[in-house]
Structure 1
């Protein structure tokens, strides 16, 4: 059954808007070429989108040819402003962008472990409000939040998790209260990192892969056939609880200390480095575990560094082998600050160890975005949601 004229117009409008988002400003002639529409149809959709305040003339093209220059049309970037938050145990980072994703301002603030729930929430909300003001935005259309822990697939809310600060759950409600016009969404941090790596990072060529997050904590995101898996309770990828050899115990429902986390969490990496005689500046600009790994990679001729990297690679390979045996993803990315610090060197060592553990062919790649992947993924999801709403055809 053919689409009605109004439906066809809506489909064409959304196609044109997404092309303008992906390609940047385009002329009517370029839109005609890319959409395959007739010249009159393109003229009509340009008129509709301009009247709706979604696109405007942003310049001219064809200055080197004879005759009048063609108008360049672009999305009205300040039609909506968006914010993204990366919420960690030790602090929060925020970025504010326009509708096309241009970052207008970024800020971060530490939140100490002994800070009470109320003051911690107030610090985080105040950081967002300052960032919005610095960006020159009157209001936020959408806020995307990346946080550790489980997201309830039914409600979309962050579940109460043992070991995570209470202010994480309170923050979402506080932002919605202080920013009543904004659409606030929360997603697991590792899932957002995987989304960012698939769109803009090391998994651009993959429809199926697993991102293994190596940072302060440990997690995994599973993308199969282009689809992010969350699980019945939102727990897909809670690899820190995976029972593995070498931990001296088993994890419990409230403590992953006996699981994979005990092998590759930041504290475990620091202990492993110390056992090999390696130390890092505790006041340095990056987390200690990442600094230790980066330092070891920078000194490959050092026997202690090589032994440390081999030992760490062996630990990581245990988790990767488990993932490969269950999912056969064909590709595992090492993400997070530690994965970024280890880079191609650590990924290669893990890959070699994996060959002796698994019969399945699995590439091990370093993530390209590191710790910034969470914030980038939150921005991408916020932009998607805002554009889906703003680009939708008006109800008739």
Structure 2
């Protein structure tokens, strides 16, 4: 069935806006060439988008050219401001950007475990409000939040999870109360990291892959055929609970101790580094990432560094082999601070061990964005949601749309 005229216009508008976002300012002639649309159609959409305040003339193409065909059109970046949060058990980080993704303000605040729910929520909300003000905005149009824990697939809300502080769940509701006109959504932190690595990082050429998050915590995100898979209860990727050999026991419904997390979580990796005499680079968080970075860059005896990285690769491969056997993703990205610190040295070791453990071919890559992937993914999600609303048509190709 052919699209209605209004739907066709909306699709053409969205195509033009996406090109302006990706390529920067363009002339009407360049839009015609890139979209394949007719000259009258392009003229109509330029007039329509200008009247809507979504694009504006930002210059001319070439000093020698004059007239309407030389005008450069660009997205009005200040039409909407976006906020993104990375919520961890130990603190919150926030960035505020304009509609095209330029970061205008960023800040973070540590939140201790004894802060109390109310004070912790107030610290986090005040941080967002200060960052938005610093960015020169009255309010954010959209707020994207990355948090540990499970997201209910039906409601899009953060579920009450054992071991996570209560202020995490209260934060989402409080932000919506304090910013009533903003669109607030929350997504699992590892899922957002996978979105960021696919859009801007190590998995840009992949529509099927698994991201293994290696940081303070352990998690995984599964993207199959371009779609993020959450599972029936939102628990896809809770790999920290995976029973594996090499631990002292078995995990329980309330505690992942004894699961894969006990092998590759930050505390376990730090203990492994100490066992091999590898001293962490100072100032790197978590300490485990500092130890991995020190081993990769050549600090300390070569034999100890190599044995440490080999032992860590053995541990990682145990969990990854299970994922590969079940999903056959073809590609696994080692994300988080530890994955980024290990780089190609760690990724190649893990891939070598998988070649022995699994008959299925798999490429193991180091994450490019590290711990910053969560914030990047939250910002990308917020920008997508804002553009979906302002531009009028949602595109189905990207994973991670929430709410």
Distance (whole Å) between structure 2 residues aligned to residue 260 and residue 224 of structure 1: 23
- What corresponds to 1:248 in structure 2? 248
Residue 67 of structure 1 deviates from its aligned partner by 5.1
- What corresponds to 1:174 in structure 2? 174
- What corresponds to 2:141 in structure 1? 141
- What corresponds to 1:236 in structure 2? 236
Residue 79 (structure 2) pairs with residue 79 (structure 1): yes
Describe how 1:88-107 pairs up with structure 2 within 5 A: 88-107=88-107
**Alpha-carbon contact 2:214-2:339 (below 8 Å) kept:** yes
- What corresponds to 1:341 in structure 2? 341
Deviations 1:131-183 (A, max 9, x none): 00100011111000000110000110101111111111110011001111100
- What corresponds to 2:43 in structure 1? 43
Q: Secondary structure at the match of 2:357?
A: coil
**Alpha-carbon contact 2:280-2:292 (below 8 Å) kept:** no
Taking a change above 3 Å as real, the CA distance of residues 390 and 346 of structure 1, as seen in their structure-2 partners, is: same
Distance (whole Å) between structure 1 residues aligned to residue 27 and residue 148 of structure 2: 43
- What corresponds to 2:399 in structure 1? none
Taking a change above 3 Å as real, the CA distance of residues 152 and 139 of structure 1, as seen in their structure-2 partners, is: same
- What corresponds to 2:289 in structure 1? 290
Deviations 1:24-45 (A, max 9, x none): 1110000111111111111111
Give unmatched runs, 5+ long, in structure 1: none
Residue 66 of structure 1 deviates from its aligned partner by 5.3
Q: Secondary structure at the match of 1:114?
A: coil
**Alpha-carbon contact 2:16-2:35 (below 8 Å) kept:** yes
**Alpha-carbon contact 2:280-2:293 (below 8 Å) kept:** no
Residue 304 of structure 1 deviates from its aligned partner by 1.1
Distance (whole Å) between structure 1 residues aligned to residue 219 and residue 62 of structure 2: 50
**Alpha-carbon contact 2:150-2:159 (below 8 Å) kept:** yes
Residue 18 of structure 1 deviates from its aligned partner by 1.3
Residue 5 of structure 1 deviates from its aligned partner by 2.4
Runs (4 or more) in structure 1 with deviation over 6 Å come to none
Describe how 1:1-396 pairs up with structure 2 within 5 A: 1-63=1-63, 65=64, 68=67, 70-280=70-280, 284-299=283-298, 302-392=302-392
Aligned length: 391
Residue 7 of structure 1 deviates from its aligned partner by 2.4
Residue 115 of structure 1 deviates from its aligned partner by 1.2
Give unmatched runs, 5+ long, in structure 2: 394-403
Q: Secondary structure at the match of 2:322?
A: helix
